[in-house]
């Protein structure tokens, strides 16, 4: 993949920088400049601004409302948004279910759902994990019984990220309990306003209301909400997880934390010099930067292939493994640098925390990166089987 900027791409980069400078509202800019946490409503505010510009889904094709960017333009846009620390957008509609509906959905489903995903009018969450089916997702028990024109869904999903804000959930449900684990599963779209759906948020160990438990009690779901074919949901799920694992590489976030580590080390004194001048620290940060650069290039190579019509394949498991591990490593270094200063991480209500004040909370939260999106152990099995041809 050649990322050398042509004159046209250089012009586009200047356009992106000028747009961010003019379009990012002052209250969001203040948070961006201090690396503070953005609330859900602030991310959606930025979503709508990018939608009006036509840039909210740079990887979507023109026929579905995307801008039709080539890989380098997408790289530039993403890189500049990350560098400016603009609010991160929810991936569940734009990155996950949207592309799945494009690939496997009917024309009616595409007309019904894709425009509202783009505009942010409808917010999505993911219904995959269950209390006894997380890394071994194929063991899921949530059932969908055939009732003629509709299914009746019963069961529970957990770790449902930001379900309390969502309008719709895309779910894996078991429609044939007699089939083997990977068979008999259907990919179903469920309106969270449907009677029988209950969503209960809970706090993470980092003190954030990121997750919810979601219950389904005799929930009626029309059959036209099946994406793909009945009992063929595992195929849709694998394709969607490929998009999610590309997202989980977390390239921009990792780069931001590396810069934070440098900033902390620059003001931390050891005897007569700053910590950033200590050879042992410079060795640690250099290793992380090399790994980050490698991950960044691999991630954009995968996305370039997706733009050419190739859905993310098993190579996305490599991105997920390396991104998850590197996310943990950069926060481990940040915790080491801050020492006891990292312990005051439960703020008073209404207090805005910057990234340094949030490090301990994020360190705890990101212990899960090697588990969610498919555990790293499962990803190594995928790589062994589908890339190395083992087993």
Going from the N-terminus, what domains does the chain have, and what CATH number goes with each?
A: 7-89 (1.10.540.10), 123-232 (2.40.110.10), 248-386 (1.20.140.10)
| For range 34-47, the mean pLDDT | 90
Between CA 61 and CA 261, with CA 298 as vertex, the angle to 5 degrees is 110
Q: Which of 187-191, 300-304, 320-324 shows the lowest mean pLDDT across its residues?
A: 300-304
Judged by phi (left if over 0) then psi (alpha if -120 to 50, else beta), residue 89 lies in beta
| For range 210-229, the mean pLDDT | 96
Of 387, 236, 215, 223, which Cα lies nearest the Cα of 316?
387
- The answer to whether residue 237 scores a pLDDT higher than 70 is yes
- The answer to whether residue 209 scores a pLDDT higher than 60 is yes
Query: Which range has highest mean pLDDT (38-52, 271-285, 290-304, 325-339)?
Result: 38-52
Does the predicted model carry a pTM greater than 0.75?
yes
Q: Which pLDDT belongs to residue 333?
A: 94
Q: Which residue of the set 244, 278, 289, 325 is catalytic?
A: 244
109 vs 94: CA distance, rounded Å: 15
**Long-range contacts from 343-347, C-beta under 8 angstroms, 24+ separation:** 345/206, 345/207, 346/207
Known active-site residue 244: yes
Q: How far is CA 25 from CA 30, 103, 350, 370, in A?
A: 9, 35, 20, 35
Q: Which pLDDT belongs to residue 130?
A: 94
H, E, C per residue of 95-163: HHHHHHHHHHCCHHHHHHHHHHHHHCCCCEEEECCECCECCCHHHCCCEEEECCCEEEEEEEECCCCCH
- The 10s digit of each residue's pLDDT in 327-345 is 999 999 999 988 887 776 5
- The answer to whether residue 270 scores a pLDDT higher than 90 is no
65 vs 60: CA distance, rounded Å: 7
- The 10s digit of each residue's pLDDT in 75-101 is 789 889 988 989 999 999 999 999 999
Contact 168, 124 (CB under 8 A): yes
Average pLDDT, the chain: 88
- The 10s digit of each residue's pLDDT in 7-32 is 998 999 999 999 999 999 999 999 89
- The answer to whether residue 106 scores a pLDDT higher than 60 is yes
- The 10s digit of each residue's pLDDT in 114-172 is 999 999 999 999 999 999 887 778 899 999 999 999 999 999 999 899 999 999 999 99
Q: Which pLDDT belongs to residue 308?
A: 66
| For range 245-266, the mean pLDDT | 80
108: CB partners within 8 A, 6+ apart? 224
């Amino acid at each position: 993949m050649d990322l050398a900027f042509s004159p046209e791409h250089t012009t586009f980069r200047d356009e992106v920088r000028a747009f961010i400078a003019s379009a990012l509202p002052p209250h969001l800019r203040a948070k961006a400049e201090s690396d503070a946490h953005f609330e859900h409503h602030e991310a959606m505010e930025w979503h709508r601004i990018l939608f009006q510009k036509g840039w909210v889904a740079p990887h979507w094709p023109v026929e579905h409302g995307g801008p039709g960017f080539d890989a380098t333009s997408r790289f530039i846009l993403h890189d500049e948004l990350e560098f400016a620390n603009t609010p991160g957008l929810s991936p569940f509609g734009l990155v996950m279910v949207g592309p799945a509906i494009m690939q496997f959905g009917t024309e009616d489903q595409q007309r019904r759902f894709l425009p509202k995903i783009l505009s942010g009018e409808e917010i999505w969450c993911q219904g995959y994990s269950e209390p006894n089916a997380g890394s071994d997702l194929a063991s899921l028990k949530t059932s969908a019984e055939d009732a003629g024109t509709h299914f009746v869904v019963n069961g529970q999903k957990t770790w449902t990220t930001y379900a309390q804000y969502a309008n719709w959930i895309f779910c894996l449900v078991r429609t044939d309990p007699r089939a083997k684990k990977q068979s008999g599963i259907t990919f179903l779209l469920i309106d969270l306003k449907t009677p029988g759906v209950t969503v209960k948020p809970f706090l993470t160990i980092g003190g954030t209301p990121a997750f919810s438990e979601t219950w389904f009690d005799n929930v009626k779901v029309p059959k036209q909400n099946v994406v793909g074919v009945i009992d063929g949901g595992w195929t849709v799920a694998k394709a969607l997880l490929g998009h999610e694992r590309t997202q989980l590489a977390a390239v921009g976030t990792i780069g931001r934390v590396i810069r934070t580590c440098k900033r902390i080390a620059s003001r931390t004194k050891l005897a007569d010099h700053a910590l950033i001048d200590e050879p042992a620290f410079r060795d640690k940060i250099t290793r992380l930067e090399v790994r980050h650069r490698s991950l960044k290039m691999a991630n954009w190579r995968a996305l370039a292939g997706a733009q050419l019509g190739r859905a993310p394949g098993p190579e996305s498991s490599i991105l997920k493994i390396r991104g998850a591990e590197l996310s943990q490593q950069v926060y481990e270094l940040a915790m080491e640098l801050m020492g006891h200063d990292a312990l005051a991480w439960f703020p008073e209500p209404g207090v805005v925390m910057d990234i340094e004040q949030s490090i301990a909370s994020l360190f705890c939260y990101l212990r899960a990166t090697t588990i969610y999106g498919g555990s790293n152990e499962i990803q190594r099995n995928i790589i062994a089987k589908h890339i190395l041809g083992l087993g």
